[in-house]
Amino acid sequence: MLQSHHMSMHTTLKESLKEALKAKDEVRLRTVRSMLTAMTNELVATGKTPQDLIEDQGFIAVVKRLAKQRKESILQFEAAGRHELADPEKAELSILETYLPAMMSQEHIRPIAEAKKAELGVTDKTGMGKLIGAITKELAGKADGADVKAVVETLF
C-alpha cells in the first residue's frame, strides 16, 4: 500500500473533528478534541512539532493509553456509585475504541496460547508470567492483556 494513498490515522482524526462539529455531536467532539490534544502532547514529548503528524503505531499507543485512563475512571466512578460520572467516560471510551484495531477474542487467542505454551515448554503455573509475556509480545496490539491472561489461566 502506497503511503500517499493511505490517510494517516492522525489525519483521519483531524477530519473527524470537522464532522463532529458539523454534526454538533458533543461527546464525539469532546473525545476527538482530547485525542488531538494527546497527539500534540505526544509529538512535543518526542521532540516533534505540534504541526507534525504522529505515525499510526504511535497514534494507536496514545489512543490505548486514553482508553485505559477511561476504563480506570469508569471503575473508580462505578465503585463509588457515581454513574452520572461513569456514563460520559463510557461514551468517550466507545468512541476511542473505534480508532483502535479490533481486539482478538479469547477463542482466537487460545490456539496461539496453546502453541506458545508447548513451544516454551511451560508445564505449570510457575511459567505463567513468562507465557503471558510471550503471547502479549506476539499479539502486540491485537489482543487485550486481560484476555490473554484469562486464556492462559485456563491452560493450567
**Cell numbers found for residue 75:** 471503575
68-107, pLDDT tens digit by residue? Answer: 999 999 999 999 999 999 999 999 999 999 998 888 899 9
Calpha distance 142→144 (Å, rounded): 7
Sign of CA dihedral 127, 109, 98, 141: positive
| Single pTM value for the model | 0.69
Whether the CB-CB separation of 70 and 96 falls below 8 Å is answered with yes
17-32, pLDDT tens digit by residue? Answer: 999 999 999 999 999 9
**Length reported for the chain:** 156
Whether the CB-CB separation of 74 and 33 falls below 8 Å is answered with no
- Would you call 49 helix, strand, or coil by DSSP? coil
Whether the CB-CB separation of 136 and 64 falls below 8 Å is answered with no
User: What domains appear along the chain, each with residue ranges and CATH number?
Assistant: 9-97 (1.10.1510.10), 106-154 (1.10.10)
- Note the helical H segments in 6-127: 9-23, 26-45, 56-79, 83-97, 106-120
